[in-house]
Every structure is written in structure tokens, then in C-alpha cells.
Amino acid sequence: MVGIVSYGAYVPYYRLKKDTVAQAFGKRADKGTRAVAYCDEDSFTMAAAAAMDAAVGQDLSDLKAVYFASASSPYREKQCAAEIVAVLGAREDLRTCDVGNSLRAGSAAMLSACDLLERSGGSALVTFSDCRLGAADGIFETDLGDGAAAFRLGTENIFARLDGSHSLSRNAIDQWRADDDLFLRNWDVRYAGSELYSPLVKAALKGFFAESGSQPSDFSKVVLYGHDDKTRFSVAAKLGFAPAQIVESMYPEIGNTGNAAAGLMLASALDSARAGDRILVITYGEGCDVLAFTVTDRAGSCRSRLQKCLARKNEDLSYGKYLKWKEMVICEPQKRPAQERSSLPDYYRNYQKNHHLQGCRCKVCGMAVFPPQRVCVHCHSIDTMEPYNFLDKKAHIRTFTIDGLSLSLDSPNFLVVVEFEGGGKMMSYLVDCKKEDIRVSMLVRPSLRKMFKANGVSTYFWKVVPADEEE
Amino acid sequence: MGSIKDKVSIIGMGCSKFGERFDASREDLVLEAVMEALEDSGLKMKDIEAFWFGSFYEQHGTSLSSILKPDFKPVTRVENNCCSGADALRNAAFGIASGEYDVVMAIGLDKLKDNGFSGNPLFNLYRDNTEPSFGGPASFSLLVPAYAEKYNVSYEDMREAMVHVSYKNHYNGALNPKALYRKEIPLDKIRKSPMVCEPYLTIMDCSGVSDGAACAILTSTEKAKKFRNDPMYIKSAEIVASSGVGMYETSYDYTTILETEAAARVAYQKAGITNPSEQLDLVELHDCFSITEIVLYEALGLSTRGQGWRDALEGKFSLEGSLPVNVDGGLKAMGHPVGASGIRMVYESWLQFHGKAGKRQLENPRTGLAHCLGGKPWNNVSSVTIVGCDLG
């Protein structure tokens, strides 16, 4: 028996109002918002955040595989799944795989993980993440969104059991992005809806129902991916589903998050699931994957950060900033020397510090220190250090400044000194916070971000974000 | 522990005009300072037996020798961040105190304005670059919220104290023909200056950036009388590097400079100073930002803890105050050609002791202090150099 053991979600803090974009182009106001990854976030950082959410309180010692599924990986060549393993501090004798190029990457990865676990037992982590770009003043600019979801699959302590699945492949092209395209392209949506999406979903479900002997009314919740809500609901009705069965897409708030869309809908369905609920998941992209789950009596034992992410948001994002963060306008460089690339040997030497915010603690005097070092600052002992994890420590701001001078894609930088409870401190950037809310002593937690990109390499490290007392 | 107190004398000094010296090359700046010092001491280039060359951005000793062409003499390039000039002077003094040389030169130089950036350039150390990237204004502005919180100083009082520090140093700079900025700035203009690091630090809280060079010629006190009857005596030349406490321990609270406290403690002890406010007649300190100056009043023992901001408002350190600080205008009005500043600060005592300070001349000063700080408030190198015109 294989199923979902735990799960996590991540939606970035910023929202771009469709109205803001309409105004920039002198067009009529439109309702709704979309989630926007901050200039230091990408599909990998969001996947890592969702993976960490799914891993909260979990023992990862039986992990057999980690997948990163995305149609918008930050790299053409360089795997992200291995980096997620490092961030989780998980064992390394496991399988890693990036799955890309399709909106079915997430479900394909999940099915592949389930097949592996059927054979090997243990658990696997699958992340669904996307950060796709639409050209300015186009439909995708406002309809796409950024986000990620993660699922830990396993053979024990199952939260939602996988009952069965069915897949269909059809080389139908309605959305695409060529090797040298920055922006997503598509064909006329009426053709795509009536000639591709509708018949393919129908055919896949027909196959699934025939194989499983189930019918639409057996499912309390249906996660149905579609490019937009109108098409989703019209096809759902044709297939015999009642609107109440269809899980809300969240598109009007966060936009269509690509691979993350079905993942976030599933996380949302699981957040409110009761034991015995049957959930159907349908993904679409060059065919369809259909997956059916039954929620076990562990319902309620796990909850993602999804609702927190939806509630904690900033809708004041200007269109100019959006364009700058997405590097869609050429801005005048600041009058500072250009950012130097990271030394990869040094980044690799500091593996545990960089990926896992690991510091050290002196075994002689107990002083906790970040970053790790060999001579104790307190008792001056040499080589008496043991690894010490700062990721799970409460952290507060000791002092701060709002630095309008240093290099940044989003000047000013909120530069802070973060002190950890139990000792140790680091200089960091506070992000996802309004400047008038910054206070000495405010509670923060680490968040993995892209410090900068130089020489084609994204340097990932930990910044801090405001935290709740309960975290 | 030994001491070089009164063993080494300065017998000539020179200082270029500090400023945006688009008119002058590095060679011009060096020669401007060196020729003044040689003329002042009556010595020739061939009399100098060894050179200590303090610079943050110059690369080698040969950067200096290619300009001065000393006849196969030793040139040691000294880099110690913003203390590079102070450390060049200190090592030159040791060269004399050791008995190895009779006459040596310490010289500081940096040329910053040719790079096309604002602020100071950064070094690439081939690190993983995961630390936040920020400059001096951000790092020193971190002192303000911590100081205001600890001593319960209101936002308005804190800002006003910082405004007064900038006002004072510009006022002094206006009296110094070698300053980068030679204009008094009205208080209200300083108050209304734009923020660069909110919520406290404005552009007028930042020191200037300039090109410049300064130099000193040293000999033993024993031999000094041979050159002139009014030499200046080195009382102590201390330099202290970070212990790591400010960087790694949460006990450091961002309201002081630990390295400066430590350097001052030793320097005062060796120079026989027990009450700096009484025994010092002028202080040149590292006012890279107005908040730094306030915190340094306390770290150097010139103000009691938590009172630095009040002393700044009450004018204790103005030209007419009980202890004038940054008489020449400080980094604020002189700018900060990094390697030159430490020697420039000692040059002010030299002028003051010889009655050559013009409109800013103090009345009969006998003892002066020069303080430099290189790095960040929590991780730096600090120097304290004390000079006097009396022996003992």
C-alpha cells in the first residue's frame, strides 16, 4: 500500500493586482490577483520551502527518492532535486530526479515515486513547483502565478492512500515554450479547450473509471487541473461532476501555478479532508494522469502552510517592481561594483552551512556559533566543535537598518542582525516584510532564497522572514 | 609589556590637500605630502633609510618606490583596513625603536575617486558570497536602533545628536584649507538631508570620499634634537584586531566598539593617561558616520556610557568645547582616503603643536590622540595613537 504521508505548500508573499497591470497599459480594470515570487525566489526555492513544510516533524531516515517537478527549473542543466536533499539534510543514498517540460511533470513524478515505493518500501518526496513567465501586456502575465507543493509518499503512516491511477498520452500542443523562448506561448484557447482538453480529460477518465469500476459520484473532492476556471467547470459538468465536488483552483487569488496548481489544490483538499474521503486528481499536459486517493483515519494529523500563505500577503506590488524582479526591463545599474560570482569550491566546502544553516557548538564551553569554525570564540579551545542546527532555533532581530545603498534587485535591503535562542547569530536580510513593521526583537525564521545570480550560478542561502509565535 | 613612549620622535610631516582630486595622480598626491614633510624637516629623500607605506587599495611596496625612486631602500606596504596609515606609522616607529634605522618615513595614500563608483570599492575574496553584501553606511547604521533602545533615547533626540556631530565637523572643515568640504552647513539643511539607511542614517551622516596622501618622518628622540628643537613625541601607538566576540557572541549589543575600547585601554596606560577628557587637548577620531563618533566618545572614555549623544548636543567636543574632537573636520569634511587618514589625524596635532592650524588653532595644546577604526562595528581593527609636544 502506497500513499501520501505528509504534504506541504508554498505561495509567495507578493500579489500583483490585475488592475495594476491594466492601469499600466491604460486598460479597463480587472478583478483578481496573482502570486509573484520575490526577486530572490524561483521554482527551486519555492519547492524547497514546500518540501520543508512537508518534512515538519517527519523522520526522513527511510527516504528513498526525491523528485523536483517543474516546467520552469532555474537551470537547463543542473539538477534541483539533489539540492532539495541537501536542504532537508536527508540521507544521500537515494534516488534523485528532476522531471520537467510538461504540466504533467508533477503527477508523472508522483506516479514514478509510487511505483518505486511499491517495490522498495520506505518513502519519497515529490515537489511540484512553477514560476512561469508571461510576456508583458499578455494574458499569461496576469493569469499565471508562482507557487509550489510537496508530498511525502510512503508505505506506512499513510494519510491518503493511492487507490489507483490511469494515464493517457497524446501529442497535442496547445501551450509551449521553445528552448530559446523566455515567455509561454499558446494557441487559440477555444481550440485548446474544445478539441484537446475536453476530449483528453474525458478519455482518460473513461479509462480510469473502466479500470477501477468507480464513477464520478464516488468522489467527494475532485482536483481538476485546467488552464482556467471556466474551462475546468464546463468540462467537469460534461463529465458528470457537480460543482461542489470540484476543488477550488485559487486561480483568482494566486493565478495558475502550472505544475503547482494541482499540487496546491490537492494540499487544499487534504487540509480539510475527513477519514474516508475519496479524492480524484486529474492533471493535463500532452495527455492526462488520473490518480485516486482515499483519506485514512489519520485525517487531521497533517496540515500544510497553504492557508497561512494565502492569508499573509502584500497586494501593493507595483508593475514597475514586478517587471524589474522578473528582469523584464533593463534598469540602470546601481553605482556600485558588479556582484562577484561565488567561488564554487568555497560554496561546496561550506555544504552544511549553506544548505542546512548548520553551525557548531563547542563541546567544552557550550557556546553555539554561526557560521561553523574551528577555534571557539568563547573558551578558545581548538577543534572541540560539534555540528549544531540553527534551522529549528527561535530567532529574533537584534538590530536593523534599511540599506538603500548596497546592490539589490529591490533596493532598499532590510539588513538585520539575527540572534538565535540558545546562542549564535548571523547577519541576514529580512524579506517579505513591510519596512514600517520592522522592530528590534521581532521574531523571524530562516527562509532559503537566491542571494544573487552571477556567472549563471544561483547562490542560494538563508534570509529571514517574519514568523508567528506558534512557529 | 614594554613601551615606546617618548623613544621615537616625528621631525617632519606633510599632507596633501584632500578632495576629489581629479587634477592629481597618485604620484602627485604622494609628492605633495612628501615634499611638504621634507621641506618641513630640512631633510632630503636620500636621508630616508626605510619606508612604511600604508594603503588599503594600492597593491605593492613598489607602487610607492616607482614614484619616489629611493635608491634600493626597503619599502614595506602595510594594509590594515582603515588603520593602514596608523599601522604604517606604528611600524615605522618600531623600525626606529629597534635601532635598525636612524631616519624613516611613514606614508599613507589612497585614491578612491577614479573608480566611478560611489562609496568604497569592495574586494573579491573568492568566497562563497553567502553573506549579505553591504557597505559602511549599512553596517554602522546598525548601531543606532540598538543604542537608542538601550539608553532609551527618543528618535528625535537621536537624530538631533547625529545632526550636531555632522554640523560640528563641517564647521571645523570650513576652517581647514586642506579639507574636501570647506563650507559650514546649516543645521536645518543637515536635518532635511535624504535618508540612505533608514530609519536613522541620512547622506549627511556619512563621511566624505576623497583622494589624499599624508606622511611623517621619524627618528629617535635621542637624535631628534639634531634636526629640530620642537619635535613631536610618540606616547603610544596601539592597534587591536577583533576577538570574534562582536561577530559571534550575542553578548555584544551593538552600542560600542570593543576593539576601540581595548586599544584605548592599552594606549592610555602606556601614555600615562588616567583621565582622557582632562589630559587630552585634541582628539581626531574615526567619524566614518555621525553615529560612529557618538559611540566612540564612549568607547574612548571621553563620555560616560549612554551620554555621548547628550555631550554631542551640548557642544562638549566643539572647537570651543572642553575637548575639541575632529578639529580638522574629521573624515566628515576631509573625506577618507583610507590609508592616508591615520597619518592625516596625527598631522593635525603636528600643526596644532606648532601653531600652524590657522583659523582653527587651539590654545596651547600639548597632547593629541588619533583613532582609526577599520571594518565593521562588530568586527574591526582599531588603532589609538597618542602624541605630545612634551617629554614625560
Task: Tell whether B358 is covered by a domain.
Answer: no
Alpha carbon A157 to its chain's center? 24
Task: Tell whether B36 is covered by a domain.
Answer: yes
Instruction: List B residues 213-272 in contact with A (Cβ-Cβ < 8 A).
Output: 243-245, 247-250, 253-254
Q: Where in chain A is the domain with CATH 3.40.47.10?
A: 3-325
Task: Give the active site residue among B15, B82, B288, B372.
Answer: B82
State the pLDDT confidence band at A471, using cuts at 50, 70 and 90.
low
Say if the Cβ atoms of B129 and A343 lie within 8 Å: yes
Mean pLDDT of B133-160: 96
State the pLDDT confidence band at B124, using cuts at 50, 70 and 90.
low
B106 close to B218: Cβ distance less than 8 angstroms: yes
Task: Tell whether B92 is covered by a domain.
Answer: yes
Residue of A369, A406, A440 best to disrupt the B interface, most CBs of B under 10 A: A406
| Nearest to A257, CA basis, from A290, A284, A291, A227 | A227
Closest residue in B to A464 (Cα–Cα): B132
Q: Which amino acid is at B156?
A: E
**Dist CA A43 CA A69 (whole Å):** 9
Domain that holds residue B46: 8-116+211-218
Task: Tell whether B70 is covered by a domain.
Answer: yes
Torsion (CA) B315, B318, B324, B330 in degrees, nearest 10: 120
Mean pLDDT, chain A, whole residue set = 96
Task: Give the active site residue among B336, B371, B372, B389.
Answer: B336
What number of C-beta contacts closer than 8 Å exist between A and B? 135
Nearest-CB residue to A343 (from B126, B134, B146): B126
Q: What per-residue confidence (pLDDT) applies to A172?
A: 87
| Res. A390: pLDDT tops 70 | yes
Q: What's the topology of domain A3-325? A: Peroxisomal Thiolase; Chain A, domain 1 (3.40.47)
User: Tens digit of pLDDT for each residue in A350-368?
Assistant: 999 999 999 999 999 999 9
Domain total in chain B? 1
Question: Which residues share a beta bridge with A99?
Answer: A69
Q: For this structure, is B336 an active site residue?
A: yes
**Dist CA B81 CA A240 (whole Å):** 75
| Res. B152: pLDDT tops 70 | yes
Instruction: Tell me how close the Cα of A413 comes to any Cα of chain B, in angstroms.
Output: 9
Task: Tell whether B61 is covered by a domain.
Answer: yes
Burial B193-219 (b: 16+ CB within 10 A, else e): beebbbbbbbebbbbbbbbbbbbbbbb
| Res. B123: pLDDT tops 70 | no
| Nearest to A324, CA basis, from A414, A419, A409 | A409
A128 close to A70: Cβ distance less than 8 angstroms: yes
% of chain A surpassing 90 pLDDT: 93
Closest residue in A to B116 (Cα–Cα): A335
Nearest-CB residue to B249 (from A337, A339, A377): A377
Say if the Cβ atoms of B133 and A406 lie within 8 Å: yes
| Coil vs helix vs strand at A172 | coil
Q: What per-residue confidence (pLDDT) applies to B10?
A: 98
A chain contacts of residue B135, beta-carbon cutoff 8 Å: 336, 403, 405-406
Mean pLDDT of B211-236: 97
State the pLDDT confidence band at A3, using cuts at 50, 70 and 90.
very high
**Dist CA A372 CA A341 (whole Å):** 22
Q: What per-residue confidence (pLDDT) applies to B117?
A: 75
Residue A369 sits at the chain B interface (C-beta within 8 Å):
yes
Say if the Cβ atoms of A459 and B126 lie within 8 Å: no
Residue A435 sits at the chain B interface (C-beta within 8 Å):
yes
Instruction: Tell me how close the Cα of A70 comes to any Cα of chain B, in angstroms.
Output: 26
Nearest-CB residue to B250 (from A400, A419, A428): A419
B chain contacts of residue A417, beta-carbon cutoff 8 Å: 142, 254, 378
| Nearest to A122, CA basis, from A99, A96, A153 | A153
B chain contacts of residue A354, beta-carbon cutoff 8 Å: 128, 130
Instruction: List B residues 100-129 in contact with A (Cβ-Cβ < 8 A).
Output: 116-119, 121-122, 124, 126-129
**Dist CA A46 CA A63 (whole Å):** 20
| Helix-strand-coil split of chain A, %, nearest 5 | 30, 30, 40
Nearest-CB residue to A405 (from B121, B122, B135): B135
Residue of B118, B152, B198 best to disrupt the A interface, most CBs of A under 10 A: B198
Instruction: List A residues 436-465 in contact with B (Cβ-Cβ < 8 A).
Output: 440, 451-452, 459, 461
Residue of B114, B115, B122, B134 best to disrupt the A interface, most CBs of A under 10 A: B134
Residue A352 sits at the chain B interface (C-beta within 8 Å):
no
B153 close to B242: Cβ distance less than 8 angstroms: no
Q: For this structure, is B60 an active site residue?
A: no
| Res. B63: pLDDT tops 80 | yes
| Nearest to B35, CA basis, from B49, B48, B53, B20 | B48
Task: Examine the predicted complex and report whether its ipTM is higher than 0.95.
Answer: no
Say if the Cβ atoms of B128 and A349 lie within 8 Å: yes
Task: Tell whether B50 is covered by a domain.
Answer: yes
Closest residue in B to A351 (Cα–Cα): B128
State the pLDDT confidence band at B122, using cuts at 50, 70 and 90.
low
What sign results for the dihedral spanned by CA atoms B196, B202, B207, B211?
Answer: positive
- Domain with B18 in it: what CATH number? 3.40.47.10
A240 close to A216: Cβ distance less than 8 angstroms: yes
- What is A283-323 written as a DSSP string? EESSEEEEEEEEE-TTTTS---SHHHHHHS-B----HHHHH
User: What's the CA angle centered on A80, arms A77 and A81, to 5 degrees?
Assistant: 130
Closest residue in A to B141 (Cα–Cα): A401
Conformational region of residue A376, where left means phi above 0, alpha means psi within -120 to 50, and beta covers everything else: beta
Give the cell for residue A460: 542560494
Mean pLDDT of A193-219: 96
User: Tens digit of pLDDT for each residue in B246-295?
Assistant: 999 999 999 999 999 999 999 999 999 999 999 999 999 999 999 999 99
Say if the Cβ atoms of B197 and A404 lie within 8 Å: yes
Instruction: List A residues 373-412 in contact with B (Cβ-Cβ < 8 A).
Output: 373, 375, 377-378, 398-407, 412
**Dist CA B86 CA A28 (whole Å):** 66
Alpha carbon B349 to its chain's center? 12
Q: What per-residue confidence (pLDDT) applies to B294?
A: 98
Torsion (CA) B165, B144, B19, B110 in degrees, nearest 10: 130
User: What's the CA angle centered on B108, arms B107 and B114, to 5 degrees?
Assistant: 135
% of chain A surpassing 70 pLDDT: 100
Nearest-CB residue to B198 (from A336, A341, A435): A435
C-alpha distances in Å from residue A175, one per residue of A108, A261, B82, B180:
18, 16, 58, 62
| Coil vs helix vs strand at B367 | strand
Say if the Cβ atoms of B138 and A451 lie within 8 Å: no
